[in-house]
Structure 1
């Protein structure tokens, strides 16, 4: 079953003080073009995500956006005990020297000591990004599965549209075959009348040359090969719809062949009704070509 190149998936998660949200989306493209917006400090994550995407996808313009936020905790203050001990020794010695000189010092307060430089150490936890990277890698598998499932669902719907358009082309081809058969007598009569007029007004004509020209005219007006090839293209396209895996490029090539045969049919029709069917064929083929652009 074919897959569409259109898809979307989103997800959220948390680990410790980190939370994240991401979106994965894609539209049609000639090849696989991946654009990832992933925080640089999550070392190794982008490369891993690219590898996972490349395993599951073959075509499409793919965009992945990951946003990570961190809940800041209150800063923890710790007493620098060696510094405090040194400060207290200094205060005691200072008071002794002041007493020897008869100088009375105001009593020291703990708050004064704590404001001294180096008495309190502030420490915030420096997170190791490793566990977060592993959690994101693990969750991405679920996100990617949802994304692929949506592309498969879009592919099923697209397959129905393509099948209906191929059925239209098949019916129009059959209709063109009937009209081509019906025009043979009329074309033959017209050719005979034109030939009679030429022969009446010409002297010394070469019978072999006339036979060659008649053969050329007959070949130029015969649309049997074009109709046969259109039928074969319909069969090939239906087979592609049943295949698993990427078939979009094969469909692209097949659409060129469809269009070529329809153009030739119109140019060789020499019949109003057959030309009308040929133009309708071109319109349906163009609609089919637009839908094929979404096939992976």
Structure 2
């Protein structure tokens, strides 16, 4: 089943220690590209979150935002003196190299990541709950991508039926195309009052028929349509394979257009290109 790369979910959890809110959003991307915004106190969860994403998703730009609000009761703020000392040394180095650099005030120092710590919350429990919340959110995101993918597959299948209709129309036109070429050639020869060998005329007609023969292109178009339908039902990522098939469909449509000798077949070739482009745009969203 095809999965979209576009989805969004928001999950929350509240307990005595406070509340967690986690958002996951994903959009189109050629490869898997995760981005995390986590509180400093939960920053060490990122490697595990990243590994989980790699195990369950193949493509898409995925943004994860986690917010943690500790419970107000019993909450204390404390200064991480080691972190503050490191920051002070760094500021001293900056003043040595750039004396005119402005000195940050106390509030700016407190706002620096890691300087202020919240005491009172059981961080181990918060991390366990955050990890469980991430798993729930990711499952919901994947379910949303699956629903969107099912809708995209329906839209693509509609276009595939349109491709079949155009292929059938061109096949039905082939006999009349050949007959029209024969008639036009005969009329031109009659106008010129040329006295040509009948065998030479037949050879010219056969050559024109060969140039206008698109049976092979029509067969390949039908084969590619069947393969696209099959890929849409496969498990796992299929977006890149579908994108390749769109290139092949477009190649056959271009050849069909170049061989066209009547307005009807030209119109069919143009319609094929429109349908293929519409499918290609939808496939850009598929994992």
RMSD, aligned α-carbons: 2.7
Give me the whole-angstrom Cα distance separating, in 2, the residues matched to 1:157 and 1:236: 19
Decide whether aligned partners of structure 1 residues 125 and 180 sit closer, same or farther in structure 2, where only a CA change above 3 A counts: same
SS in 1 for 2:160: helix
For the pair shown, the structure with the greater C-alpha radius of gyration is 1
Give me the whole-angstrom Cα distance separating, in 2, the residues matched to 1:130 and 1:142: 19
C-alpha contact 1:15 1:132 (8 A) present in aligned 2: no
Partner of 2:180: 186
C-alpha contact 1:43 1:133 (8 A) present in aligned 2: no
Give me the whole-angstrom Cα distance separating, in 2, the residues matched to 1:67 and 1:182: 69
2:241 aligns with one of 231, 250, 260: 250
Partner of 2:130: 136
Is 2:147 the partner of 1:153?
Answer: yes
1:104-161, Cα deviation, whole Å (9 max, x unpaired): xxxxxxxxxxxxxxxxxxxx84555332212211221111111111111111111111
Give me the whole-angstrom Cα distance separating, in 2, the residues matched to 1:28 and 1:213: 53
Is 2:256 the partner of 1:262?
Answer: no
1:50-72, Cα deviation, whole Å (9 max, x unpaired): 11111111111111111112234
SS in 2 for 1:144: helix
2:227 aligns with one of 236, 241, 254: 236
Give me the whole-angstrom Cα distance separating, in 1, the residues matched to 2:243 and 2:171: 25
2:217 aligns with one of 222, 226, 233: 226
Q: How many residues align?
A: 245
| Between 215-224 and 234-243, the greater mean CA deviation after superposition | 215-224
Mark the runs of 5 or more structure 1 residues left unpaired by the alignment. 77-123
1:25-79, Cα deviation, whole Å (9 max, x unpaired): 1112211111111123324301111111111111111111111122344589xxx
C-alpha contact 1:7 1:150 (8 A) present in aligned 2: yes
TM-superposed CA distance for 1:280, in Å, is: 1.1
- What is the TM-score with the length of structure 1 in the denominator? 0.74
Residues 1-296 of structure 1: matches in 2 within 5 Å? 1-73=1-73, 125=119, 127=121, 129-194=123-188, 200=194, 217-296=208-287
- What is the TM-score with the length of structure 2 in the denominator? 0.76
Give me the whole-angstrom Cα distance separating, in 2, the residues matched to 1:132 and 1:14: 10
